[in-house]
A and B are shown apart, each in its own frame.
Chain A
Amino acid sequence: MSKQKPVVELTIPVMPDMELLATQTSAAVAKHMNLDEEKTAEINMALSEACINAFEHSESKSEIEIHFKISDDRLVIQVTDSGKGFDKSKVDIPNIEEKISSEYKRGWGLKLIEELMDKVKFDSSEEGTTVTMTKNK
């Protein structure tokens, strides 16, 4: 019988700066996995951005659920909100040349998440969104 993979679950309220609570947990999980400082920092940044997206764009009034799935060769983090969902194909990829003269300078979260993690998947519907982010060990 194979050993069950450990999972850490965290629920955070939709409140300012609660992403820092999530990154405290991801840092502890990364330390448990002996990930180096660079990968730990990348995971923390990507998770922070995923939480902020959930807070800001989902219009979810309830909590955000985060699952950290630990295995020998990778860490998988799922961030789930119960907001209105979004169509990723309609999200523009930001670039600095446009942003520098644009009124709206934000909208970098998805780009950062995709650049900092090894694999990213978005599952979204009218009932909410789950972002699944993988970092290889």
Chain B
Amino acid sequence: MPDFNIAVREQGDIIIVDTDGYLNNVGGEIIASECYSQIEKGKKIFVLNLEKSPVVNSIGVSILIEIIEKLQDVDGSLGYCNLAPIVDKTFSIMGLTKYSTIYTDEADAINNLS
């Protein structure tokens, strides 16, 4: 099984989740678990830095839709940065860009979400 790891940082009110590995069902659940835990602590703004996750599948991305739904309940937001072109295209085909935002890099995300 490919490893999937995350590192979590705070930048003001923003929670930045750096991912590393294949974003499949396992990776998606790890991200979701962290986000839900942070939402319980009152955090509402999340950025997923997917620089080290250039390979995704639709099951993993579907779990991000669950996170978006949860964030809608608390008036929160989800952004992504450093996406591989195919990941950007996958998110667009699946329509994630209607409910969340793709940023070029972390600085772009923080500037827009702060």
Binding site for B on A (CB under 8 A): 16-17, 19-20, 23, 37-38, 41-42, 44-45, 48-49, 52, 94-97, 99-101, 105-106, 108-109, 111-112, 115-116
Contacts and interface: CB of A to CB of B under 8 A. Distances in A.
Closest 10 CB pairs of A and B: A96-B95, A41-B86, A108-B58, A105-B62, A106-B62, A105-B65, A115-B93, A108-B94, A45-B86, A109-B58
A17 B62 contact: no
A17 B24 contact: yes
Q: For chain B, what secondary structure do more than half of its interface residues adopt (helix, strand, loop), or is it mixed?
A: helix
Given A41-B85, A52-B58, A106-B59, A112 B99 contact: no
A49 B57 contact: yes
Interface residues of B, number: 27
B101 interface: no
B86 A17 contact: no
